[in-house]
Amino acid sequence: MTAGPGRTPRRIGPFDVPAIGLGCMNLSHAYGVPPTPEAAARLLRTALDQGVTLFDTAALYGFGGNEQLLGRVLAGDRDRIVLASKCGMTGVDGRRVIDGRPETIRHTADRALARLRTDTIDLYYLHRIDRQVPVEESVGAMAELVAAGKVRALGLSEASAATLRRAHAVHPIAALQNEYSLWSRNPEQGTLAAAHELGVALVAFSPLARGFLTSAPPDPAGLPAADIRRGMPRFDDRHYPANLALRHELARIAEDAGLTLAQLALAWVTSRGPHVVAIPGTRSTAHLRENLSVLDAEVPEEALHAAGLVLNSSTVHGPRYHEATLTEIDTERCGRAG
């Protein structure tokens, strides 16, 4: 039997989207020197031509630069796409700041609309839960954006099942975006099931484990100084060699199934439920096509099962983030993986 995601649309609030969209962060943010504007635009146009409809950005990415990029490149095709962005975490004086106050959310939304060159954002997430502000207040302000016609649907990011339920009681939540991959299983501690129960899409960011589950895994020693993976325990000297050994096993499973490792990893994530949508990011048009090709691939169920046994929250080495970062994230923790 096969279990690829196929071409059947998946639902995010009022929108139908393919099981795989595009995370746009790395075109402007987090992974060292970004591509040139021309290369970034080429990647976005290729994604559109290949049938991607869900494009995911945030005010934080490039401190507004990513929203400007999408606005510049995609504004002319606005009616063809589902445009998602985020508030509640922005760049202030060169620093990342979590701020879920209603007045900040309203200001961030107005700036996002201008950068994105649109009158309405299709899906607007609270990027992080501000522990100084009740989530009901933050979501209440976002609900006002819906009432004003500035936003069509609401989402949360890096939030727990309990927080999802609290937010959903204020205004329907269309999507919950949490990290989910073979090596990050936190959604299995509650949010995957809660999202399904409430009719909420689970949007999986970093489904390829920040490049680890691709044909060219990063060399931690060669990462640029500004690459966020330099500060992630799974990529440090204590843990990375053991994780590479697990990756070698996964690569053999993928090869035996006639798949690339990225295809296997994306098929695994999207097989976790009909409400799961993956948003891998890439700077390579070749990798983009490889990722999207899994929509038409035949994926043996036994390969998915074997992959899940090899790499999971019990076998991965190192937590997702260092403790200081984990304290500002609301998601459930799982096992020694954090």
Report d(CA 174, CA 165) in Å as an integer. 12
Is residue 59 within 8 A of residue 111, CB to CB? The reply is yes
Catalytic residue status for 240: no
| Residue of 61, 180, 240, 321 marked catalytic | 61
Report d(CA 250, CA 256) in Å as an integer. 10
Is residue 212 within 8 A of residue 218, CB to CB? The reply is yes
Report d(CA 159, CA 173) in Å as an integer. 12
Candidates 203, 150, 195; CA nearest to 23 is: 203
3-class secondary-structure state, position 194: helix
Tell me the two tokens of residue 305: 């099962």
Report d(CA 31, CA 210) in Å as an integer. 9
3-class secondary-structure state, position 94: coil
CA atoms within 13 A on the CB side of 301: 4
Contacts of 129 (CB under 8 A, 6+ apart): 88, 100, 135, 138, 156, 158, 159, 163, 330
Tell me the two tokens of residue 158: 């890096």
Q: Which residues are catalytic?
A: 61
